[in-house]
Amino acid sequence: MTEVTTISLHGHPTWARLPKGNGPTVLLLHGGMSSSASLLRSIGPSLAKRYRVAAFDRRGHGRTRDTDAPFSYDAMATETIAFIEHLKRRVHVIGHSDGGNIALLVAMQRPELLRRVIAVGANYHYEGLLAMPTFDLEGDDFAEWARRFGENSPDGPDHARAVEEKTRIMTFSQPTLTVKDLATIAVPVLVMAGDDDVATLSHTCSMYEAIPQGQLSIVPGSSHMLLKERTKECVRIIDHFFSAKLPPVTFAPMRRPSTVLED
């Protein structure tokens, strides 16, 4: 069971889906220029059969009003930490795109709040992204996105340009983490991506290799929208990562401790 409501995070009214009852809880962190609805509609229903599912719309996204402040991953991580503290329980986290970047920061800053983390289509440095087209603010695609944005946002469709600008500035200047930063992450992390995702495969693999308890899943034939394109397969991968014993025990370990399966 869940409760959809508005809570206060650092004094800012924030749309939230709160879990009710006990049991393993999964927090879904949506991507940029998106909202919790994207994850709640794709992987949410299947995950809800086995986990308590929580989510919130970050400031300036979905059903949460914006402020005059610029967007930054550090501020979004602080917002996320406040939400987990509001839940008063340790959580698994699945972050998609910007949500994955935020999940990495939370794992670095407050590992005691987390059980396991899945970063989907994430990047730890902005230079790891492939060249991406930006919205033509006078084009039909942006007009359609602004209309959908305004249907949910308390700020209305006219605020869509401000959100696009804030997002664009952040995307091309943040985050600026290094592999040494990633090496400090003390919780298990599954790095997950499509084989045609927005970050280079070398960047994604360097993320996996830098995280001490990292695992890697590249979903073939998928893009940045892999959670929508290959939902059932992604949910199976997610559920296995959350439920499997750690560290993995394999026949021929190379990067992991030398515990092996018997023939």
Q: What's 246's DSSP letter?
A: S
What are the structure tokens assigned to 137, written together? 């603010």
Side-chain half-sphere exposure of 50, counting CA atoms within 13 A: 11
This prediction's pTM: 0.97
What is the structure's pLDDT at 261?
61
Spatial distance between the Cα atoms of 239 and 24, rounded to a whole number of angstroms: 12
What is the structure's pLDDT at 253?
87
Find where tokens 């979905």 sit: 62
Residue 163 φ then ψ, to 5°: -65, -40
Alpha-carbon torsion, ordered 14, 9, 82, 58, to 10 deg: 30
Spatial distance between the Cα atoms of 85 and 104, rounded to a whole number of angstroms: 17
User: For residues 103 and 117, is the Cβ–Cβ distance under 8 A?
Assistant: yes
Q: Which residues on neighbouring strands pair with residue 237, listed in sequence order? A: none
What are the structure tokens assigned to 237, written together? 């991968």
Among 179, 28, 199, 68, smallest CA distance to 130 is for 199
Q: Which residues on neighbouring strands pair with residue 13, listed in sequence order? A: 8
Q: Are strands 52-56 and 25-29 parallel, antiparallel or unpaired?
A: parallel
Q: What's 192's DSSP letter?
A: E
Domain boundaries along the sequence of the chain: 2-243
Q: Does domain 2-243 have CATH number 3.30.9.10?
A: no
| Distance (Å) of CA 173 to CA 34, 104, 107, 196, 254 | 19, 17, 21, 22, 35
Find where tokens 């600008």 sit: 165
What are the structure tokens assigned to 234, written together? 């992604």
Averaged pLDDT in 10-residue chunks for the chain of 263 residues:
90 96 95 98 98 98 98 98 98 98 99 98 98 91 97 97 97 98 98 98 98 97 98 98 93 77 58
Length of the chain: 263
Neighbours of 74 (CB within 10 A): 12
